[in-house]
Amino acid sequence: MNNDLHGKTALVTGAASGIGKAIALLYGQHGANVMVSDVDETQGQQVAELVKAAGANAHFFKADVGDPVQCLQLVQETVRTFGSLDIACNNAGIGGEMNPTADYSLDGWQQIINVNLNSVFFCLKYELEVMLKQGAGVIVNMASILGQVGTPGSPGYVTAKHGMVGLTKTAALEYASQGIRINAVGPAYIDTPLLSQLSEEVKQQLVHLHPIGRLGRAEEVAQLVIWLSSDKASFVTGSYYPVDGGYLAQ
């Protein structure tokens, strides 16, 4: 176990599978206490048990981050359980409806903006309240390559991720002088359960979008998040870091 986060408490939303699960496990391996949160109670509990099995403290708390009350409860439960909130990774998100803008449903728009953008504001608001009292903290928001560029058929997702990057930069400027660092990570297409509903043919089309010649792995995103969460990144705030196999360089 690498102990560079020993004594710190890390909160991960959307931690039941995929990138969130990889982040929660890696936080634990680096010595942090881990609050695992998701709407999926069964898989979320399993992740918490895996973190414990690796030798770290972990706790699961079910929360729908699209609801501000549940975001507040999640932060309160983290502090109540572990005594502090030092690191937060706001990772929860959905792919949402796939349709051109003119055909995009109003309900689909409301849902994706709520789950992928409003939730980050809700979590940030309550995480920052705790970190300001502590005088220190680190927040990593999980954006996407689509926080920088567009793609046809996903107006809601693209808008939410662009908005998250803007929110990250603004909050980082507001709290840089108060010991709090806030950054965003932008994965390209990562081989996670979020892509499981796609056909093999579509997956191969996605592979070809990446100059590196493959999809990313959740663990590769997690490694970047761990670095940003550690003191090794002590001069880094207000930044957007792609982890994208060259996607944005094209």
Identify residue 250 by its one-letter amino acid code.
Q
Q: How far apart are CA 43 and CA 63, in angstroms?
A: 13
Backbone angles phi, psi at 214, to 5 degrees: -160, 170
What tokens appear for 61 in the block? 């708390």
Look at residue 15 and give its three-state secondary structure.
coil
pLDDT at 2: 74
Q: What is the pLDDT of residues 74-111, one digit of tens each?
A: 999 999 999 999 999 999 999 999 999 999 999 999 99
What tokens appear for 34 in the block? 């881990």
pLDDT at 193: 78
DSSP readout, 189-214? SB-SGGGTTS-HHHHHHHHTTSTTSS
Q: How far apart are CA 171 and CA 169, in angstroms?
A: 6
Q: Which is higher by pLDDT, 127 or 196?
A: 127
In CATH, what is the architecture of 9-249?
3-Layer(aba) Sandwich (3.40)
Residues with a catalytic annotation lie at: 157
Q: How far apart are CA 97 and CA 164, in angstroms?
A: 18
Q: Which is higher by pLDDT, 195 or 73?
A: 73
For 195, what's the count of Cα atoms within 13 Å in the CB-facing half-sphere? 20
pLDDT at 1: 64
Per the confidence metrics, is the pTM higher than 0.95? Answer: yes
Contact indicator for 35, 24 with CB cutoff of 8 Å: no
> For residue 178, is pLDDT > 80?
yes
> What's the rounded mean pLDDT across residues 201-210?
94
Q: How far apart are CA 175 and CA 189, in angstroms?
A: 31
Please give the share of the chain, as a percent, with pLDDT higher than 70.
100
Handedness of CA 10, 14, 19, 22 (dihedral sign): positive
pLDDT at 204: 93
Least confident among 72-86, 153-167, 198-212: 198-212
> What's the rounded mean pLDDT across residues 189-213?
90
> What's the rounded mean pLDDT across residues 63-81?
98
Backbone angles phi, psi at 51, to 5 degrees: -65, -45
pLDDT at 215: 96
> For residue 194, is pLDDT > 90?
no
Largest CA distance in the chain: 51
Q: Where are the domains of the chain?
A: 9-249
pLDDT at 61: 98
Q: How many CB atoms lie within 10 A of CB 209?
A: 16
Contact indicator for 14, 88 with CB cutoff of 8 Å: no
